[in-house]
Structures are given as structure tokens and as C-alpha cells.
Structure 1
Amino acid sequence: MRSEPTRLPGLPGVSLRLRYAGYSDFQSNDERKGEIDLAASLEGRFLPRDCSIGTNTDPIHSVLQQPGLTEVVPLLDHRLGLPAPSGGSVLEQRTYVGIRPYAVKPSTSEATTGAA
């Protein structure tokens, strides 16, 4: 899990960055949608380097829940063109993939003669 730092209003130069703290379980049931342990690193010029809320040994334990039923907002549906007609939905997703090349193994003749 990665997160960008989020500025904290009212605290100039201070930001918070959430990080995974060692436990997650995303099996859902009627009572919960999963659980995750988090820690919040605080970053700022006058804060110690290891300043955090929660740690790996004493994390912020979060139980994900859905309070009540999902509410449909008709105005938002209209603005987004929902519900979309069959075959009219489009999802655009940007994905970045890094590929690291393997070292090139010299051929047998190059290895024995030293030629490149």
C-alpha cells in the first residue's frame, strides 16, 4: 500500500502519510467489509523522523463497514449518464508497467575468445 502525503489543515508544513502496518483481511460478511491495520507517519520540518500515530506492533486497527443501505443519488446519476445502456459503459484506466531487462549472456564464441 502506498499513499501520498496529505497536508494537515491548521498545521503549516505538516503532512500525514498512511501506511500498511502488517495485517489485512478483506473477507466480507453482513457486519464488515474487511479489516486492515494502518499507521500514520507524520512528516514535518520540526517533527522527529519516526513520528507516527500507530506502529507495526500497536497499529490503528480499522474495521471497514457499510453503515446502512447504499443510497442512490438521482441527480448524480443523471450527471454521469447512469444507468448506462447495455454496451454503453466505458472504463479508462492508466497502468504503468516497468520491465527490467535480464543481463545479456554472451554467446559461447564470445566467451572463449573475448570478442564482443
Structure 2
Amino acid sequence: MYGGWSDFLSDDTRRGELALRFEVAGPGLRQECSIGTDSDPVHLVLQDTRATSVVSEDPMVVSFAVEDSEFAVPAATRCGVLGPLLNGMLGLGGGGTGSISLDAQVALRPYGTES
């Protein structure tokens, strides 16, 4: 889930940055249970793993893949009595790092032109 911040200005070292929070659901967990919060989200610095390719020219759709293999993994919060068990089983909040890979397709539309 969107964590309140994104920056997709790419340069030689990154595709962009993204703040997320991951909702965790299951029996015995509170509805508010998440990894990362709105005030302290998971911060990803995305690296290209697949070059951008054009899927369609009209409408313009591009595809690419990114990953972050070194982001800090916070503990799950607001999970109720099972929170400590969840953190222990998944190794959350202990100063370790996580890894995530994302595939994206993005539709682009010019603004200020008639369609």
C-alpha cells in the first residue's frame, strides 16, 4: 500500500524511490496490522533489472522491472498479541534487510492535447 511518498526521477544509480506499507492479514491479527506505517514506511530505492520496453504505442504503454535487495525491514506493528510471534517467525525488526522485485506496466498520456 502507498506509504505517502514516491520519487521516480531516475539517474545512473536508481530508477526511483518509493515508500510503502505492507498490510498483513490472517486469523488472530488485528485489521490494522502492517509492516511499515504511514509515519515510518518501508523505504525502497529501486534499481533496474529489466530495461524499459514499449508494449504499445497507441496508447503508449511501457514495461520495466525493478528491485531493491537491501531495504531495512521494520517490525510489524498494530498486530495484537500475535505481533511478537509474527516478527519472530519472519525475522522482522531485527535490523535485517529485505528484498523485493517488481514488474510494472505504465500507460502514458500526454497532457494539454486533444484526444
Question: Fold match, TM over 0.5?
Answer: no
Q: TM-score, normalised by structure 1?
A: 0.42
- Which has the larger share of strand? 2
